Structure 1
């Protein structure tokens, strides 16, 4: 890269939990600049999670964080062209990208779920990810399998 790296923007913590990670998630969830709608969806999803997993002693925020941790990939494959062939090279992911991928997968698979409101769909996906099942968890497993299958090409890493 020729230019200097852009500075990371400092995010303000969210109003209810006081957590920067929640703000980051809501920013990913937000569409067309409607942050208050995104916050409403997220908080109602956590309320639904609280109702569904009432027997858990953890708070809904802790359940959400554990769900995110369960769907966070450790490695990914990148296409690398060597000679005439294209190889899928497994590479480790840097920590901020790991979290970003996990959040985006959770949102994507929440949107794909069947349900009435986005909050219900998100709550269902959070519960599924917490229990190590669901679309986002399967995506992480598939990514890891792909990286494991292409481990022989790890020496092409750049």
Structure 2
């Protein structure tokens, strides 16, 4: 299976999850983690929604990660989440779900619903899990957002 991630060039080859130690997000709070997506398009949307137009970096890379087919995984179903799970800022219970999963070492991957693409999944990767050593970077390619995407974002009401 392939997963996709967008990172700044200097961090593109780093699968340690150390960025997760620096800031919290929807599914974790100051723990090593990688946020990835099943589709590159979802990855693009997920990155874009967290950036203001003047924060869009021009040193981004699309990272394609190969995950062994036998990798362990768990899934979080929308039906099991609170009604406000997709709010921004995210309800704190989601951080608890992610941190509990990361600490438990129950699986390498955790499939979670995407807020910006309700027909797709994001995949959290636990870099501390014993199976993380089997992850392989297939490619790292320069990435630029299509300017039409951030022009739309700049025109928000």
TM range (shorter): under 0.3
Larger-Rg structure: 1
TM-score, normalised to structure 1, is: 0.25
Structure with the bigger percentage of helix = 1
TM-score, normalised to structure 2, is: 0.25
Structure with the bigger percentage of strand = 2
